[in-house]
Amino acid sequence: MTIDGTKFANLVRPAATVGAMLDASQVHGGRTARNHLRCFAALSNIQAERVDAVLDMVGLASAASQRVSGFSLGMRQRLGLAVALLGDSKLLILDEPANGLDPAGIRWLRDSLRSYADRGGTVLLSSHLISELDQFADELVLIGQGKIVTSGRVEDLMADADPGQSLEDRFMDLTADHIDYQASAF
C-alpha cells in the first residue's frame, strides 16, 4: 500500500499520515481505554495529551478509566475510532465503523466523518449499510464478488436511477450481474 506515493512501511510517522480502524475488537480487555490509547500514542510517537482529547472526541471521556473488557460493542467501536483519530492524520481508513453503534452513535459517526471531510480530511470507509452511506458519502466504489463494479460521485451514480430509487436500490441494480444472491430459508 502506498500513501501519497510512499510505501506505508517507509512512512516516517505512519499514525500521523493515516489513521485506521480495521478490527475494533482487537483490544486487551484488561487495559483501560486511556491506557489502550496511551500504548498506541507511545508506539506512534504521539504526545500523551492527545489521548484525553481523543477520548472526549469519541464520547468515551467518562469511561476512560474503565477496563475495556466491560465495554459494549459500540464502546469498542468508539475506542477503535479513537485509535484511528489519535495521530490527527488527513486520511482515515475505517472498516464497518457503524457496527454495534446505537442510533445516536451512528448519527454522531456520520456527523463526525462529514465534519472531518469538510475540514479537508479523506475518509475511506467500507460498509454494508448502503442506506447510511447515502446520507454522507461523496464518492462510492461499488464492489461485487471482490471486483470493482463501478465508482464515482454519488450524484453521478444516481443520475440514471429510476425516480424515487434509493442508493441502496441503485447499488442492487448495479451489482446484480456481479453477485450471486442465494436465498436461504430457516
Residues in CB range of 179: below 8 A, 6 or more apart: 144, 145
Q: What is the pLDDT of residue 184?
A: 40
Which DSSP helix (H) or strand (E) runs through 126?
strand 122-126
Per-residue model confidence as pLDDT tens digits over 136-165 = 888 888 877 778 888 889 888 888 888 988
Three-state SS at 110: helix
pTM over 0.85: no
Per-residue model confidence as pLDDT tens digits over 170-186 = 888 887 776 554 444 44
CATH 3.40.50.300 in the chain is located at: 12-127
Q: What is the pLDDT of residue 170?
A: 86
Per-residue model confidence as pLDDT tens digits over 27-69 = 888 999 999 999 999 999 999 999 999 999 999 999 999 999 9
With 0-12 CB in 10 A as exposed, 13-18 as middle and 19+ as buried, what is 125? buried
Q: What is the pLDDT of residue 179?
A: 59
Fold of 12-127: Rossmann fold (3.40.50)
Q: What is the pLDDT of residue 23?
A: 79
For the chain, the average pLDDT equals 87
Q: Does residue 146 come out as left (phi exceeding 0), alpha (psi in the -120 to 50 range) or beta?
A: left
Per-residue model confidence as pLDDT tens digits over 83-118 = 999 999 999 999 989 888 889 889 989 999 999 999
The arithmetic mean of pLDDT across residues 122-135, rounded, is: 85
